[in-house]
Amino acid sequence: MYIDDVVVDLADPEITVSTSTLSGFIYVEGAGPSAEQTFTVEGDFLTADIVLTAPTNYEISETSGSGFTNSITLTQSGGSVSTTTIYVRLKAGLSEATYNNEDISATSTGATSQTVTCNGEVASSSTPVTIVYQGFEVDPATPADTWNYTPSGTVTESTDRSYVGSQSGRIDAAGSVTLDNTDISSYENVVLSVAYSFSGVDSGDDLYLDISYDNGSTWTGTGSVQLVDGYSNANYAFGTTNASNPTTVATNPWTVDIDDTETQISVRLRSVGCSTGEYYYIDDIKLSGTVATTDPEPTNHATAFACGTTSYNSISFTWTDAVAGAQAPDYYLILFNTTGTFTDPVDGTPQADSEGSIANIAHGTQTVTFTGLTESTTYYFKVFPYTNTGANVDYKTDGTPLTGNCNTNDLPELFISELAGTGYDADYDNEYI
């Protein structure tokens, strides 16, 4: 047997990363590091290990919460590195500034290097920052379009008109733009802003702003509103409003203040009734807010539980707010049930209001009423003061939380005060009430 001219083609070494950009790293000056974000890296046909190098103001780790450094070596075996999760955060101790376009590099001998670009900010506690933004521009744009969206119907990024930049989102006929669910748990004083314009819309051709605080399960959250009630081929530019025919909301852009207790938000702009060639335009859609400062756990518990007005299906009670001490509470978590057995809340896990079991009451209120209860029943209550909201919530569970119990009344009796007969034979048969 003879062989000759044997050629073996070897694949080039290859590194793969799951994303090219990580944005939104942020913390208030003096309160770093930022929350973590992640990407994955893997390698094939390698002849050497993969070396990950972080830029000056970021750090990386293979473990969430610990082990952060500026360089990681991923050892290849048989020419491969299996998919590995890398945790990234903006370093603590940085001054107030933006820290954008800083690259994490992934290198290996003979392979094309890969980069993950990091964008972040160290903010003043009093300076509003843009959380996410959508201006329907051609990337790269300033500000960057960081709030991704899903269109329904015919939606185009149009140069017809704009509020900021050179383009806007144009909804042709009936359609919608749904902007991704966004975590706002690390922010306070969050404001949603939307600029709008329209062309050719008639009566019944309307534009709605729908807000969801439960990742799109429901779309009637506080702040949802009809932005425009169309009328007779109306045509209005960005920045203009009208009181009637067509009717718009009072300002343009329209803004919505988001309650600090909300931890996430989804937004949808929806046109209804429009036909082809009737357009709604939207632009400069943004969420802004201040980075939440975290207060320590409250110093003291509330005192002086007292039952108030009760009925067969409701109970009111009062308390005296906690003495401020080093840290006053922001809110009180009130748990109640008919057993008197409670599980203490856990820091970082907010509990939403739930009829019949949970209520959150602002410091300074000192009273609450629960309805929809069962008659002739003892209800037990336990009150936990806390600071902050969302992922930063900090409950005071040590010491002696305020407790108490109140009873609902018996179901009222029905008294018959008069009988009326048929009136023709005085035998009182077939009476009615």
From first to last of its 433 residues, the chain has per-residue pLDDT tens of 676 666 555 689 999 999 999 988 988 888 788 889 999 999 999 999 999 999 999 999 999 888 999 999 999 999 999 999 999 999 999 999 999 999 999 999 999 999 999 999 998 877 788 999 999 998 777 788 889 999 999 999 999 999 999 999 999 998 999 999 999 988 889 999 999 999 999 999 999 999 999 999 999 999 999 999 999 999 999 999 999 999 999 999 999 999 988 989 999 999 999 999 999 999 999 999 988 777 889 999 999 999 999 999 999 999 999 998 889 999 999 999 999 999 999 998 899 898 889 999 999 999 999 999 999 999 999 999 999 887 788 999 999 999 999 999 998 876 666 655 555 555 555 555 5
Do 377 and 362 fall within a single domain?
yes
Domain span holding position 219: 129-291
Is 181 within a domain?
Answer: yes
Measured CA to CA, the distance from residue 173 to residue 276 in angstroms comes to: 5
Measured CA to CA, the distance from residue 235 to residue 248 in angstroms comes to: 12
Q: Is-cis flag, bond preceding 385, omega within 30? A: no
Do 138 and 256 fall within a single domain?
yes
330 vs 26, 384, 386, CA distance in Å? 24, 11, 6
pLDDT at 317: 95
Q: What are phi and psi of 391, to 5 degrees?
A: -70, -10
Nearest to 342 by CA among 385, 393, 391, 384: 384
Q: Provide the edge-to-edge strand list for the sheet that holds 50-53.
A: 21-28, 114-123, 97-107, 50-53, 71-74
Do 36 and 169 fall within a single domain?
no
pLDDT at 416: 62
Task: Tell whether the torsion through CA atoms of 255, 257, 262 and 263 is positive or negative.
Answer: positive
Do 97 and 164 fall within a single domain?
no
Is 377 within a domain?
Answer: yes
Measured CA to CA, the distance from residue 212 to residue 61 in angstroms comes to: 34
Do 307 and 272 fall within a single domain?
no
Is 425 within a domain?
Answer: no
Label residue 225 exposed, middle or buried (CB < 10 Å: 0-12, 13-18, 19+): middle
146 vs 9, 291, 432, CA distance in Å? 42, 18, 72
Of 123, 151, 173, which one is at a domain's C-terminal end?
A: 123
Is 412 within a domain?
Answer: no
For 282, the token pair is: 């939207």
Do 91 and 168 fall within a single domain?
no
Helices (H), 160-229: none
Indicate which CATH number applies to the domain containing 327: 2.60.40.10
Do 177 and 282 fall within a single domain?
yes
pLDDT at 428: 56
Residues contacting 388, CB < 8 A, separation 6+: 292, 294, 295, 330, 394
**∠ CA(287), CA(292), CA(298), 5° rounding?**
145
The domain total for the chain is: 3
Do 44 and 83 fall within a single domain?
yes
What pTM, to 2 d.p., does this model score?
0.58
Is 77 within a domain?
Answer: yes
Do 318 and 193 fall within a single domain?
no
Do 62 and 152 fall within a single domain?
no
DSSP annotation of 139? S
